[in-house]
Structure 1
Amino acid sequence: MQSIRIGQEPQFQYLLRIADTCLVLGQRIGEWCGHAPILEEDIALANMALDLIGQARALLTRAGALDGRGHDEDQLAFLRGEGDYLNVTLAELPRGDFAFTCLRNAMLATLLKQLWQRLQESSDAELAAIAGKAIKEARYHQQHAGDWVVRLGDGTTESRQRMQRALQQLWPYSAELFDLDAVDEAAHASGLGPRWADLQSQWQEEMQAILAAADLTAPARGAFCSTGKRGIHSEHMGRMLAEMQYLQRSFPGGMW
């Protein structure tokens, strides 16, 4: 089945960046179902994945209405080509170990919490309503992930080594979160939502507090900046999409 064609309007792309980050992160977290270290955590991660997919559904529905091409949430979720997904690269990286997952969840939940908080004042009433519900979930996700970062970072020799390794792997991808471009500027100018760059100082403050409690230090940020928000993804994205899209593309329009 061929991929759908979507618009390039800044407001539409702004919503896709948030929706796709939630969708792809939810897919990655969902890979822990049946594999988490303890049963309680297995359930917690599954619930967080469902929260994120629910947020993505609401945003994709709204984005589809703004795009005006008649695409519903399922078509936007499963029938786009790789270059039309605008999630941050951080969300698409392979699942990794439990330390990797907890740190990534903390980094993205902190970003999403701040986004939802600001989006409650959006000029788009429907987006503001979505944000009002989603922020409660994001606060829990941040607290849950942050507690595990502290527990593992300040835990055993093994858990600390794994968390330090995850920090070295993940931190370079944080630069993309605050990379400013015309899509952000248009959203800011219209009142749709904040420029992600305007969240950087608060994000750094909250993440540094989590890392300090875990006795961890973030590595220095280099020149590298990933480009998932612009549709240019890592080699991992295509493989993940092949699995995520398989059922919908094999049985177009299939219903439960």
Structure 2
Amino acid sequence: MSDDHVYLSLAEGHEDDARWAYGTGFEDPLHGVDTAVPADVDATELAACCLALGDDALVSAQRLAEWTTRAPELEEEVALANIGLDLLGQARLLYARCGQVDGTGRGEDTYAYFRDADAFRNVRLAELPNGDFAFSIVRLLVLSAWRLALFERLAASPDPVLAAIAAKGVKELAYHRQYAAEWAVRLGDGTDESHRRMTAALADVFPYLDELFGSAPGFGVDPAGVRDEVAATLGQVLEAAGLARPDVQPLPGAGRTGDRTEHLAPLLAELQSVARAHPEATW
């Protein structure tokens, strides 16, 4: 079965985007952008939005980095690392904006390295262990489809800095979603074993799906609109892959309000170990 139609369809509206991830361009997305918080923007709400989206990106990037030396092929190892670098870049910009508007003046390193797990506000799906390659692909597909839908809307945010960060992120996330969709179709429509693993991965990921739509960041983003767009994308990919949407119950709780799994603390311990051991070090 040819799956080119899925990639082309998902790429509609992003025809000019590069097909590689981080490093396709080094323009400063905030060049010339006024960093003052507009009078009609709630600074507390803006800071919370930037922190949550930054935490999503940082934790996701760390999980993707764990595939280094472990991916099925060298090409996929490089691709996953580059996607992780994209997300790390988004986290840095979002943390920097958070520090500008939350009254603390904290820098990006403080948010990344010197907060404990209970202070993070990422969605729980991002912090789950990688599992096998199929699980990581399904998670990447879900998170990139959701984050792309959010960022497309946040590109019109009344805060010019958040709007610029989102506009830059849209190009990156369109690639992330495409990469994950390609692999989802390849595995779902592949061997009996790859199909079985994708089915199992869907059953593991989808209980966390509802949490994504209960955590809209505000700024005019309609959770229902995001849900409909993501559902359409996932439905399109699953149909092409010969996979069925699992009938699972959503898990209670929400990472945005501080609910954590047991997996975040160990992830942060590894991520933060050097910075905490040498807090005054510069590189």
Following superposition, which runs of at least 4 residues in structure 1 exceed 2 angstroms of deviation?
A: 8-11, 195-198, 223-226
Amino acid at match of 2:235: Q
Tell me the distance in 2 between the aligned counterparts of 1:44 and 1:78. Answer: 25
Q: 2:148 aligns with which of 107, 113, 116?
A: 113
Does structure 1 retain, via aligned residues, the 8 Å contact 2:44–2:101? Answer: no
Q: 1:57 aligns with which of 76, 89, 92?
A: 92
Does structure 2 retain, via aligned residues, the 8 Å contact 1:179–1:197? Answer: no
Q: Scaled by the length of structure 2, what TM-score is found?
A: 0.82
> Is 1:216 aligned to residue 251 of structure 2?
no
Provide the residue aligned with 1:250 in structure 2: 277
Distance verdict in 2 for CA 1:249–1:166, change over 3 Å:
same
Offset, 1:58: 0.5
Tell me the distance in 1 between the aligned counterparts of 2:220 and 2:90. Answer: 16
Unpaired runs of 5+ residues, structure 2, are: 1-42
Q: Scaled by the length of structure 1, what TM-score is found?
A: 0.90
Offset, 1:95: 1.1
Offset, 1:10: 3.0
Does structure 1 retain, via aligned residues, the 8 Å contact 2:208–2:250? Answer: no
Offset, 1:196: 3.7
Offset, 1:225: 2.9
Offset, 1:217: 1.1
Q: What SS does structure 2 have at the residue aligned with 1:95?
A: coil
Provide the residue aligned with 1:3 in structure 2: none
Provide the residue aligned with 1:201 in structure 2: 228
**In the TM superposition, what whole-angstrom CA distance separates every residue of 1:66-112 from its partner, at most 9, and x where no partner exists?**
11111000101111121111100000000111101111000000011
Tell me the distance in 1 between the aligned counterparts of 2:281 and 2:236. Answer: 46
Paired residues, what number? 241
Structure number with the higher helix fraction is 1
User: How many percent of aligned residue pairs carry the same amino acid?
Assistant: 42
Does structure 2 retain, via aligned residues, the 8 Å contact 1:175–1:225? Answer: no
- Give the alignment of 1:139-150 within 5 angstroms: 139-150=174-185
Does structure 2 retain, via aligned residues, the 8 Å contact 1:82–1:238? Answer: yes
Tell me the distance in 1 between the aligned counterparts of 2:220 and 2:82. Answer: 27
Q: 1:72 aligns with which of 97, 100, 107?
A: 107
Q: 1:135 aligns with which of 170, 183, 198?
A: 170
Q: What SS does structure 1 have at the residue aligned with 2:104?
A: coil
Q: What SS does structure 2 have at the residue aligned with 1:37?
A: coil
Tell me the distance in 1 between the aligned counterparts of 2:220 and 2:280. Answer: 33
**In the TM superposition, what whole-angstrom CA distance separates every residue of 1:32-72 from its partner, at most 9, and x where no partner exists?**
01111111111101100000000000001001111111100
Provide the residue aligned with 2:17 in structure 1: none
Offset, 1:221: 4.0
Task: Provide the alpha-carbon RMSD of the alignment.
Answer: 1.5
Q: What SS does structure 1 have at the residue aligned with 2:226?
A: helix
- Give the alignment of 1:1-256 within 5 angstroms: 9-179=44-214, 184=216, 188=218, 192-256=219-283
Unpaired runs of 5+ residues, structure 1, are: 1-7
